[in-house]
Amino acid sequence: MSADPLVIDGMRAVELARLTQGLPGWPGLHRLAKDGWCPVPLDAAENDLAAGWGVDCYAYPVPRERVEAELADGRIEDSPPWLFAWLAKCRAALRGDEDAILAVAGEFARIDRELADALGPRFAELRASQGQAS
């Protein structure tokens, strides 16, 4: 497995940052600076948007391992139609399709949000035990 994240940028990055805000195990929004990418709070992008500025300098690094894990359990050809579509979207994300990356990461974020709401502080402990601490 590759350690290189799947990166989306611009407004897609801001959208994903909104979905994952406060969730343990998510890397958060980044901004291009003179020394490379650095983490920034979502408020920085929200302020830029409110001021009418562009958000092309923002990126969101989605953990590649999370998407790869979806494909590790079986072959796409043996899947029912709904699962076939999901696995195809995961493959597209791994090829760098930004719409697919946002769709897959957005679904992971939705699931994580449901788990976080149900488990409370135990969710952060679960993510930490999986090596996904924030």
Which pLDDT score, from 0 to 100, does residue 55 have? 95
pLDDT at 133 over 90: no
Strands 36-39 and 58-62 turn out to be unpaired
Strands 6-9 and 58-62 turn out to be antiparallel
Q: What is the mean pLDDT of residues 120-130?
A: 80
| Closest to 30 measured CA to CA, from 13, 48, 52 | 13
Which pLDDT score, from 0 to 100, does residue 77 have? 63
Residue 1 — very low, low, confident or very high, per pLDDT cuts 50/70/90? very low
Q: How far apart are CA 98 and CA 133, in angstroms?
A: 24
Amino acid present at 76: I
Which pLDDT score, from 0 to 100, does residue 132 have? 60
Which pLDDT score, from 0 to 100, does residue 119 have? 87
Residue pLDDT, tens place only, 76-115: 666 677 788 888 899 999 999 999 999 999 999 999 999 8
Residues 93, 85: contact at Cβ < 8 Å?
no
Q: How far apart are CA 72 and CA 76, in angstroms?
A: 10
Neighbours of 98 (CB within 10 A): 16
44-73 burial, b at 16+ Cβ within 10 Å, e below that, comes to: bbeebeeeeeebebbbbbbbbebbeebeee
Residue pLDDT, tens place only, 8-53: 999 999 999 999 998 988 999 999 888 888 999 999 999 999 999 9
Q: What is the mean pLDDT of residues 56-63?
A: 94
Question: Coil, strand, or helix at residue 132?
Answer: coil
Residue 134 — very low, low, confident or very high, per pLDDT cuts 50/70/90? very low
